[in-house]
Amino acid sequence: MPNLPIEAEQFEKIRTKVFADSESAVRELASGIADFIRQRQTENRPAVLGLATGSTPVKLYQELIRLHREEGLSFKNVITFNLDEYYGLAPTHPESYRHFMEVQLFRHVDLPANQVHVPDGLVERDRVFEYCARYEAQIAEAGGIDIQIVGIGRTGHIGFNEPGSTRDSRTRLVALDRLTRRDAARDFRGEANVPAYAITMGIGTILQARQIRLIAWGDSKASILRAAIEGAETGSVPASFLQHHPDCAVYIDQTAANELTRFRTPWKVGPVGWDRQLTRKAVTWLAENRQKPVLRLQDEDYTENALASLLVETGSAYSLNIRIFNELQHTITGWPGGKPNADDSNRPVPAEPPFKRVLIFSPEPLDAEIGMAGTIHRLVSQRHEVTLAYLTSGSLGVPDGEARMAFSLLHELAVSGSGSRIQLDQLAKEIDSKAPFDEDSRDLRQFKGLIRRAEARASSQILRLSLDRVTFLDLPFYEQGRYRQFRWGAQDVDLVTTLMGSRKPHQIYLTGAGADPSSVTGITFHLVAAALQVCRQESWFSNCQIWLYSSNERPWPPHEIDMAVPLSPAELGIKLDCLYHHRSQRSQTPFTETQPGEGWQQAEQINRATAKQYDHLGLAEYEAIESFHRLKNVNAN
């Protein structure tokens, strides 16, 4: 790779390749790995690969398997070393990294079993030190790692080297960070079940690999990537230690790259083309940076902040400020379904037809409520015909404790005469005899799905949604899968397409653009987008607006908001009441960067923060705001 930095990448201390999507990134990376393996075959030498687990490398492994099956890539000369393993988990445990590797890669290729190394999670405590030293020795005996694949955690960890790890750390037993354990809570059905310790290669071990390739997808990784790639080299962001490696490259998709200076504030790295979106971004950024409302920004504010070229193109700060202020002002509406009989030339939603059919997709119960409960309440009160479609049952997110509580309630009911006692008894037995990580039976999963239905119905009623308009699609990809191992297909898309066809909506609301592509939110976004493609030719489609509501992980920044729906204090109260009804989701939501609280606390803080941002930009002061981005081009994502 050439070493000269190009202008756009001048702030990046690790060479970073940004791809339109994760598919193209893994195609390029896998093809490089395949070339290397083949090269070594011709030299009759082994290729030593360092491997990672988690959601991120799944697609890379799928591509390697494809190369094996379709292009004859053999792994006979490959030796592998995995980065880490949960301490206390047997290799056969469904959540162990060893098991993950078997399912995702090893069993599908011709890699000899004796050339595979994954740290053993069951080594006795007093033998761990010696075991780790042996792991290091095995790497050295194999000739060292040629290509090391690493993902990055939201704490900045690589392997399980959490903040505080040193640059020269070696393979060892480590305690997991709270944020990391919370991120793994879904895999383990509750944070309490996530192992507290892991064995991991050290940073020093990783840095000895001849090539390192860091991969990451989705917006939840964007800010930690910025810290790792552009920030100071520091033990509080362990991935930043990669900055001084002689051959490290980062392969990321566009959403993961969004916080890098070249995308976040591109005017700081060189000349830019000032389109409408970028202009709005620059002005709101400047107002925030200068802590001034938009209408009070002066020419000096622009020129002193690398925005002189914007003034050259637009004339003066005065006219630019007014233009952007008006654009922002026009995003605000208390009529998310359009205001009947009003002039709509400057409103985000057309006035006609006065009463619209609205279709809202929620990846799991609670997602739509978090993003837009207040707006749903408004749409219903303003007499639009709202259908709320829960795409998946959400059963995987129900901890056993919640199911147990529901059984005992039903048990009381059964004892009092109605209900099927036998079946409940069986389920109660299963849940009590199940080891913490055993798979749920079909019946138990179904029961957990029913818990989420009950919660979703109760919360919809608070929003005054008519229950016959609350639909549960229970998409097959989810019912047949487990976290990190979902595969969606035509059947899922058909179910969504059929619902769209039957509703012929004037508005569709969805979420998940930019989410990790293997998460439920990411998958459901892509399959709704695929269904929209199918419906493009339908007559209703040309009159249908598509709106993206935000998740707690990525609230819309002001320049991306196309509709801002203010909530009064009373409406915010209704929203919170609605969110509380999803009680099985306590302690299930991943912490966001700034907010460690529960999902509903995060949602409240985000809605209040958006209102504050609008206030600071010089717009009206509201209690809270729900925000939406308009998706104009389905192909774009």
Name which of 95 and 327 has its Cβ closer to ligand F6R: 95
Name which of 152 and 513 has its Cβ closer to ligand F6R: 152
Q: Please list every residue from 158 through 177 that binds ligand F6R, using CB under 6 A.
A: 158-160
Q: Which stretch binds ligand F6R (CB under 6 A): 146-154, 189-197, 292-300, 529-537?
A: 146-154
Tell me: does residue 111 bind ligand F6R (CB under 6 A).
no
**Shortest CB 52 distance to ligand F6R, Å:** 4
β-bridge mates for residue 51, sequence order: 82
Strands of the 470-472 sheet, one edge to the other: 470-472, 385-390, 357-362, 507-510, 545-549, 624-630, 563-567
CA distance 63 to 27: 7
DSSP annotation string for 619-633: S---SEEEEEEE---
Name which of 55 and 279 has its Cβ closer to ligand F6R: 55
Q: Which stretch binds ligand F6R (CB under 6 A): 11-19, 150-158, 333-341, 396-404?
A: 150-158
Tell me: does residue 613 bind ligand F6R (CB under 6 A).
no
Query: Of 13, 68, 98, 157, which one interacts with ligand F6R (CB under 6 A)?
Result: 157
Q: What are the CA-CA distances from residue 371 to residues 154, 156, 368, 376, 528 (Å)? A: 22, 27, 5, 10, 17
Burial group, residue 121, by CB count within 10 angstroms (0-12, 13-18, 19+): buried
Name which of 153 and 374 has its Cβ closer to ligand F6R: 153
Name which of 152 and 406 has its Cβ closer to ligand F6R: 152
Q: Please list every residue from 258 through 287 that binds ligand F6R, using CB under 6 A.
A: none
**Shortest CB 611 distance to ligand F6R, Å:** 31
Phi, psi of 437 (to 5 degrees): -110, 10
Name which of 157 and 384 has its Cβ closer to ligand F6R: 157
CA distance 15 to 248: 7
Q: x/- contact string, 19-58, with ligand F6R (CB under 6 A)?
A: ---------------------------------xxxxx--
Which helix H or strand E contains 80, and what residues bound it? strand 78-82
**Shortest CB 505 distance to ligand F6R, Å:** 34
Query: Of 63, 84, 327, 400, which one interacts with ligand F6R (CB under 6 A)?
Result: 84
* Catalytic site residue from 85, 162, 571, 626: 162
**Shortest CB 488 distance to ligand F6R, Å:** 18
Query: Of 151, 399, 555, 599, which one interacts with ligand F6R (CB under 6 A)?
Result: 151
Give me the sign of the Cα torsion angle 412, 416, 419, 422: positive
Which helix H or strand E contains 285, and what residues bound it? helix 276-290
**Shortest CB 409 distance to ligand F6R, Å:** 35
Cβ-based neighbour number of residue 70 at 10 Å: 8
Among 609, 610, 612, smallest CA distance to 627 is for 610
**Shortest CB 522 distance to ligand F6R, Å:** 12
162 is catalytic: yes
Name which of 161 and 375 has its Cβ closer to ligand F6R: 161
37-51 b/e with 16+ CB inside 10 Å = b? Answer: beebbeeeebbbbbb
DSSP designation for 482? -
CA distance 368 to 552: 11
User: Residues interacting with ligand F6R, by CB under 6 A?
Assistant: 52-56, 83-84, 151-153, 157-160
Active centre residues (catalytic): 162
